[in-house]
Every structure is written in structure tokens, then in C-alpha cells.
Amino acid sequence: MRTKRYLALLLAAALALALAGCGANGDKDKNKGGAMTIAPAQLSGEEQALADLLALGMESYHIFDFQVEGAKSVRLRAYELSDGEWECVNHSVREASDGAGRIALTFGKMTEGVRMACKDSAGLLSSEFTMEAADGAAPLTFATSTLTGDVKIGLDEEIPLAVQIATTKNEIRSYDVGYFGMPREYAKHGYEHVYAITVTFSASAPSEPLADVSAAPSSEPSPAN
């Protein structure tokens, strides 16, 4: 059973990378927000036809187009909420280039596997991992939020792309990804697991140290949706 699950994950990851590769070299005007923006991807006709041909359930693929200038590196991070603070559990970094690119996140339940991939003219960055949920046989309910609109990119500013809650509670309050900067909003509800995936376009080269930009706990009112 475990082998079948990982084979399915690898297949999903390969398909996500195929879509990411198509988009990264496509029309640079697809991202309408300007030279420093990231937004949910609009699949081209060719990409949509490929997804339809493969009967690909796009609910497990979270794809974002970006345009960036002046970045020397791109960093993908995955977090789990621990004692009201974000704890980084996976971190990947590589050189970045000016222009268009695409980020593809592949997951259904993050406890069953996650693939993060970023592609631009500088190359491909990818990482595979599983969020551990040591809850025995307790059934978990999952709720996922992703970036839904154009967001302005600021160098060295962390941008949340996806947040997922995994809990045994019957009711889950769904949060916009903007709540990533206010982790106590999640913590106060007592959810057993809260995960997040972010991207940072940095003015620092991959070999240079980057200050910890993870979100500090906050008691401020939640951002508007």
C-alpha cells in the first residue's frame, strides 16, 4: 500500500513538472500584474489539453506564474505550526533569473507527500517530502487555502502560497493564506497540525546567509479576505 502511494506521488510530481516546464518558457505577458508579481497560473490551451488527456485531477496541483527582477535566489520553504510559531521542516534554494517562471506544488493531503518545484530560465528547483502526523489511527480532516490573486513580490519578503489544516475537529475555520503572518490565529483553535508552503525571492545569492524571515506570532486582528 505504501509503495503504491509513493508511486502515485511520483507520477503526480512528474506531471506537475511537465506543466511547470511548459509554462516557464511561455508567453511572458501571461502574468498581467507586472514585472514583480506572482499569481495563480492560467494554463495554456496546450497545458489544459494535456491535463484533460491524462484525466489529471487539478485539485492536487497548485500552480503559480511569476515575473521577477533583481532576484539572485529563490527559496521554497515548508512549515509546520509548533507552539504558536512556524517551524521550517523543508527548505530548498537555488539561483534565480530575471523574467518569467512557474512554481508547481503537488499535494492532496500533505501527510501523504508533497512536491515543490520552481522553474525559470536559470533552471529547476524541486523537493519532495512528507509532513509527519503522529496521531495514530485518528482520522484527520483537511482544509487547504492557496494564493488566489496577484501578489506584489518584494525581494526578501516571504510569500505564502498554501496553508493546510489537518485536525480531528469536526469544524474547521478556513483561513486565507494571508493569515500565515499571524500564526496565533491558527493556534488559538487547537488544530493538531497546520502546514504552510512559502516562496522568497531574495537579493542574496544561494550561497549567502539569509535572515530568518519566518512569521513571528502575532495577536493583531486577522487580515481581511
Please tell me whether residue 157 adopts helix, strand or coil conformation: coil
**Residue ranges covered by each domain of the chain:** 2-202
Query: What count of other Cβ atoms lies within 10 Å of the Cβ of residue 104?
Result: 25
pLDDT tens sequence across 84-134: 999 999 999 999 999 999 998 989 899 999 999 999 998 888 899 999 876
179, 122 contact by CB (below 8 A) = no
- Amino acid sitting at position 72: K
d(CA 90, CA 78): 5
Q: In what order do the strands lie in the sheet containing 123-129?
A: 123-129, 114-120, 99-106, 61-68, 37-40, 151-152
Pairing of β 73-82 and β 114-120: unpaired
pLDDT band at 217 (very low <50, low <70, confident <90, very high): very low
